[in-house]
Every structure is written in C-alpha cells, then in structure tokens.
Structure 1
Amino acid sequence: MASNHQEHRIKGVHRVTKSRKNGPDRQYHYAFRGGPKFWDSSMAFDATDARYVSAYDAAMKAQRDMRIPAADSKSTSLALQRYRDSAEFNGLAPRTRDDYEKFLTSFEAEFGEDPLAMFQEREAIGEIREWRTKWKNSPRQYDYAGGAVTTFLNWCVDTDHALEFHHHKGQKKLYSSNRAQVIWMPEEIQMLLDEARPEEKAVVVAFSEGGLAPQDVGLLRRRHVQTTPKGRRLFFARKKTDNPVSLPVTEALGEVIDSLPEGQDLLVTSLTGKPLTALRASQIIRDLKIRHNKKVDDGLLKVRIRDELRPYDMRGTAATALLRADCSLNQIAVTMGWGLRHAANVIERYAALVPEVSDEVHRKLKKARKKVEKAERKAAKKEAKRGGA
C-alpha cells in the first residue's frame, strides 16, 4: 500500500494502532473519538486515496442520520452535531477537542432529546449545574464541564444563530491554581538525578532541561533533532496547543540523544523500552521524589525535596533559567512553545522569582541615582559661580 502521494489529513480523525502477534500492526481510523470506523489498513486503498475521503464522508453522513431524527430539527443533539462538524470545534487543539468531547458526550446524553431553546430559560442554569455535580469531587473537572457547555452555547448564539441568547455565562469557578511561585530549585533536580537509575535519568533530563510538558516527553523522536549552525535543536509541535517548539540541545540532552541504542527512534521511553505516556512520565518523577524523601526520613540524607513540587512545575524552572540567561521574550516564547502574549504574562509572574532581575534593577537604580547626583552637583557649581560674580 505504499504511495508517493501525501496522506489526506482530515481534522478530527481518531487514529488507533493495534499490535498483532502474527503479522504487522493494524491501523484503524475513526471519524472522531468514539465515532464510527471508516478505514483500516486491511483495505485495498490507503490514506492517500480519494476513496479514503469518500469513506470518511459516508461515515459522517451515516452517523448524523443515525443520531439525529430528521423530524427533530431543533433538538440539542442536532445543534451538538453541527458544533462538532464546525470549523470552530475542529480548529481546536487536539487535546482540547478530546477534553471537550468527553463533557459534550455526557451533556448530550442528559439533554440531547430536549429542544435547544430550553437554554434560553433562566431555569436551565440549575439543570446544567445539577448535571455538573457528576464532577463535584473534582473542582477542576466541574469547572471544565461548565466551560465546555458555555463555549457550545456561545457558538449556538454567535455562529449557528440557533439561539438568540443563553444565561450560562459568568459561572463562578470552584478551582483556582496559581503555581507561578512553585518551581524546582537546581539542587532539587540534582537530587532527582542522584536518585535516578540510568533508564530514569532521561526522563528527568527531558523534563528539567527543556521544560517539556508530560504529554510531550514521550513524543520526541530522532527526526525532531535538527542541526543548527552552532549545535543542535529539538523542533516539534506541542501536543496540547500544536504550537511549534525550538529547544536547544544542551549537553545533558545531547548525552541522552547520543546514547540511544541503535534502532531506537524514541528519544525517551518507558523503563521497559516502550512508548512513554504522559501519566507514566509524571509518575517516574514522583517515584524518584518519594524514594529520595524516604531516605531523608530514614536519616540517610539531610535535605528533602519539597512535597508540593509536581513534574509540570519544571516548566517554570526552565522559564526562569531562560530569564537568567537574559533571553528575549520572543526567544522564551519559541523555546517554551508559548504565544507571545501568554509568554509575556507568564514571564511577568516568574520574573519576581529570579534574583538576577532584582540585581539588575538595583544596578540600574544606582546608575540613575548617580546620574541625578552628578547633574545636581553640576547645577550647584553653576549657581555658585553666578553668586560669586
């Protein structure tokens, strides 16, 4: 099934690879996560063929016909299907789209048969709030469920025009988190490295040197390593946002890359050599912290790694390292995979944690004061001369 033509990249397609004991891996493509399968690698055509697109279109039409009765043209289910087919929904980052789908599927099971117009009634807020109590023990999920519904209803008003208005706006959030001041200190990262076995060190390095998010650590492959005029870089797109990242290959990252076994494509794997999931990558860091602190509790070591530290907090550590290196806002944004506006907001919070920033401010203040004092002395001398005349 080899082809020189480029694969059709349809937004929203959910791709699954299943290993088989006897024979090559089998590829399955679904119209969306949880949707109908429209292609697999046993078929007579591949994903570069026009029949691939036709199969996708047929699956989507059948799904719409099956899920939405033609006579029920004003149902919430129909509006949800239009939203799922919309450019706005399919333009979301894959991770965001998957997260929204989880809550929208539950929302549809609860309200799908109801008329969409019910959400123009103020009483609907209470019904939505009652549905959200499924996640009452997880404030973050509770808030996310409400946010996904608000986004959908906004689309119904602003784009689909199926609603004139809705009341599910400005809902109070339960979850709040500001971890800008929680970053790993260099000595704490060294404690992890000292505790890590050889197969664990690559995970620590990937987190700490590049400030990678857990979902990105296991995605890095040899093709992401590129030669630059004065070294190497890792160039890839973040899974959550699809933003490009240009990460310099430091000495520590270089050692990880150069020590890869021959034939291994993934830069960082699980401890058994398999693809590394975001959950497992984070768990390896947590396990190292637990092992180190257990030795402190047993009197073998003196200094603990702070209990509140999380693997994701290493992104803040990487950002402050870039600040210390006097990198520009654009350089920090590209390296971290952030937009410029987001980078400016984040750096504004992290700047207070970098002592060198305070030193630089102090230096500039001293220089400014000396300039003012010099001007005042010069003015005093002039005034003295005038008085003497």
Structure 2
Amino acid sequence: MPKGVVVAPARHGGDQAQAFLRRGRRYIPLGAPDAESFPARLDAALLGPEPRAGSLGHLVWRYQQSPEFKRLAPRTQDDYREQLGRIGRAFGREPLSAFDDKVAAQRIFAWRDRRAASPRRADYRVQVLKSLLGWAAGRGLVERNRAAGIPPLYRSDRRYKIWRPEDVEAFVAVAAPNLALALILAVETGQRQSDLLALRWRDIDGDVIGLRQAKTRQDVAVPITPPLARALEIAPRSSPFVLVRQDGQAWASEGGFRNAWRYYCRKAGITDLTFHDLRGTFVTRRLADGWSLQEVAFCTGHSFRNLACLERYAHRGTIARALARRRLRQSEIALPPPSPMALWPEGP
C-alpha cells in the first residue's frame, strides 16, 4: 500500500475492511481494498483534483500519471509524492512559463536554502524538482531545466566509517537474535536495509542468495559465507521472511526496525556507525580480499558503467594494507630459498 493508506479492519462478521487515504487531518474513503474499483479510486485520491492547466501544479499532476513516474519503485513513488506535494505548495499556482526565466533558478535556490538546516532533506526536494523539470523539458513543456545546475548542500564522506570486528562483536553480544541476524546479513551481503527486510527464505539457493533490488531493479547474487551460513542455520523459520520481529512476525514497517536497531546500537555503545555503513564495510572487505570491482558490483547492484562510485563505500587504507600484505606473502612463497653459496661467497 502507498504511504498514507490505512486499513480499518471489519468490526462485524459481515462487514468488509475499509481503506482510507490520510491527507493531513482528513481521511479520504477508498472502499474495500479487495474491491475491483479500489486501484482506480486509490489512483484518483493520490492524484487529487486536476489543477489549472498551464500551472506548475498541473505539471506535477501530469508527471504522476506518466510512464516515467510509474516505472519508479513503489517506495520511491511514495517519497516523490511527498516531495511533489511540497513543490506544489511552494510553486503550484505559478505559470509554467515562469520556469523558463533565469530568475527561476534564484527562486529555487532561495526555496532550498530555507531548509539548509536539514541539508539532506533540502537536497532531496531539489532532486525531485530536477526530475520533474527534466521530464517537462524532455517533452518540450519548458525550454530548459532551471534546477539542473543547483549543487547539493550535503557533503559527507563515510568511506572511513566501517564496522570493525570488535564493533560487530559488541552489537551481537547485546542484541536480540533477530537483530544480530540482520547485522550479519548486512555485513556479509552488502544489501540495503529495505532489501534485507524483504528477503524471503525462497531467495536462498544453496550457497547463494539471489534477489532483485527494489531501488535499482538489479538482479544480484551473493555467496553465503561461513559466518552467514551458521547464522541462517540457527535462525527460526516462522515466517516466509528471513528477518522477523521477536514475535516471529514480519516487520510491519522499516520505522519499527530502525527504532529497534538504534536501541541496540546505543546499548552496545555504538554511536557513529549506521546500518548503511555495513554496505561500505562489505565493499571494503571484499576489495581487501582481492575481489575485482565487477565481482563486488554483481553483489551490490552497481552499474558496470559507473564502477567508480564504489569508491565512496571503500576504506582505501584498509584495502591497501590488506593487498600489500597479500602481495608480500605471495612474493615470499614465490621466491626460492637462498643457497648457501649465495650467502657465503667463495674465498680467494
């Protein structure tokens, strides 16, 4: 279900469950979720009434019905709708022609800068606006994308934020078994939190985990390491999903999982590492083990055309030291032992 949809269970034996779309303090009735008319009513409620033609609000309305928008992953569509709503409230009544003017970039900068205290959120709003105006420019609805040249506010380098073995041990020592399994899965597969929460037992094929990532739609396959195999062997199979709550049920939301994760991080004394840093730890470990960039990309889902982006996940110092030691060991094995004659040259 899209974000904002709530389902009220049936109160009496003959009643059907009813779905509603929450919009602020309003709840828009959608009818029974299993009714044939439900998808159409949901789409109409998500779109809202058609705005005035020629306005930016009308462009937002059209964009959400486009094939490009519908190709986005469901989670991305939810996030985009939220930001498109903010864009509509800020610029929706303005004529679309106003975004052909050079002054439009200044107004977009000012709109972004008002949210500078939360740079990542401000950047995401601009990212969605770039997508919207890029779609409009591609269809000839505006002359150019005035948001395209706006740089991000947020700057972060988390290449050096990796989970050390002692960090992993500290977390596993205090965490509930279901959260400990989540950590081991993440550090041994390099997958995103959302993909791991959606992972099913049927996705495990012998000694390989295969799945299609929700964000990139890439098919990935990751070998099951001995530590992961041991963790999976003792994990309960009370649900089709691998990661479950302590009561054996699937996680109802990513928010519930994140709250539990933060709790055990605090309990373990881990304050400067995130769940996503486990993805970088996986990349760092595999490159340090001598894997090629292509081999890592087959696991992480990165495009072969842009392998350089893996660098933002990799701790170069750790990789360099591991490779240097490996080369040293290989050279020691390859060199023959010195002969006594080489050590003790003949006398006169």
How far apart in 2 are the matches of 1:103 and 1:223?
35
Q: Which residue in the other structure is 2:257 paired with?
A: 281
Aligned match of 1:118 in 83, 98, 106? 98
Give the counterpart letter for 2:212 in structure 1. A
The normalised TM-score by structure 2 is: 0.77
**Residue 119 of structure 1: how far off its partner (Å):** 0.9
The answer to whether the 8 A contact 1:74-1:115 is kept is: yes
Q: Which residue in the other structure is 1:226 paired with?
A: 205
Q: Equivalent pairs: percent with the same residue?
A: 24
Q: Which residue in the other structure is 2:276 paired with?
A: 312
1:67 and 2:35 matched: no
Distance change (3 Å), C-alpha of 1:64 and 1:28: closer
Trace 1:248-287 onto structure 2 (pairs within 5 A): 248-261=223-236, 263-276=238-251, 277-287=253-263
Q: Which residue in the other structure is 1:79 paired with?
A: 59
**Residue 285 of structure 1: how far off its partner (Å):** 3.9
**Residue 139 of structure 1: how far off its partner (Å):** 0.5
**Residue 112 of structure 1: how far off its partner (Å):** 1.8
1:194 and 2:173 matched: yes
Mark the runs of 5 or more structure 2 residues left unpaired by the alignment: 336-348
| Structure 2 counterpart SS, 1:245 | strand
Distance change (3 Å), C-alpha of 1:36 and 1:129: farther
Distance change (3 Å), C-alpha of 1:349 and 1:16: closer
The answer to whether the 8 A contact 1:202-1:256 is kept is: yes
1:164 and 2:139 matched: no
How far apart in 2 are the matches of 1:174 and 1:233?
40
Give the counterpart letter for 2:170 in structure 1. M
1:359 and 2:332 matched: no
How far apart in 1 are the matches of 2:48 and 2:264?
52
Which string of whole-angstrom CA distances, capped at 9 and with x for unpartnered residues, describes residues 309-362 of structure 1?
Answer: 222111111112222333333321122222223444315862622122233566
Q: Which residue in the other structure is 1:326 paired with?
A: 290
Q: Which residue in the other structure is 2:216 paired with?
A: 241
**Residue 19 of structure 1: how far off its partner (Å):** 7.3
Q: Which residue in the other structure is 1:209 paired with?
A: 188
**Residue 15 of structure 1: how far off its partner (Å):** 10
**What value does the CA root-mean-square deviation take over the aligned residues?**
3.7
The answer to whether the 8 A contact 1:332-1:343 is kept is: no
The answer to whether the 8 A contact 1:132-1:146 is kept is: yes
Which string of whole-angstrom CA distances, capped at 9 and with x for unpartnered residues, describes residues 172-221 of structure 1?
Answer: 32111111121111222122222234343222222222223222232122
Larger radius of gyration: 1
| Structure 2 counterpart SS, 1:350 | coil
Q: Which residue in the other structure is 2:162 paired with?
A: 183
Which string of whole-angstrom CA distances, capped at 9 and with x for unpartnered residues, describes residues 271-307 of structure 1?
Answer: 34343343443444433332233xxxxxxxxxxx5x4
Distance change (3 Å), C-alpha of 1:171 and 1:200: closer
How far apart in 1 are the matches of 2:266 and 2:123?
31
Distance change (3 Å), C-alpha of 1:83 and 1:99: same
Give the counterpart letter for 1:66 in structure 2. P
Mark the runs of 5 or more structure 1 residues left unpaired by the alignment: 1-11, 46-51, 294-304, 371-389
Q: Which residue in the other structure is 1:350 paired with?
A: 314
Distance change (3 Å), C-alpha of 1:141 and 1:348: closer
Aligned match of 1:94 in 74, 93, 97? 74
| Structure 1 counterpart SS, 2:148 | coil
How far apart in 1 are the matches of 2:143 and 2:284?
47
Q: Which residue in the other structure is 2:343 paired with?
A: none
The answer to whether the 8 A contact 1:157-1:165 is kept is: yes
How far apart in 1 are the matches of 2:104 and 2:61?
20
How far apart in 2 are the matches of 1:351 and 1:134?
34
How far apart in 1 are the matches of 2:265 and 2:16?
37
The answer to whether the 8 A contact 2:105-2:147 is kept is: yes
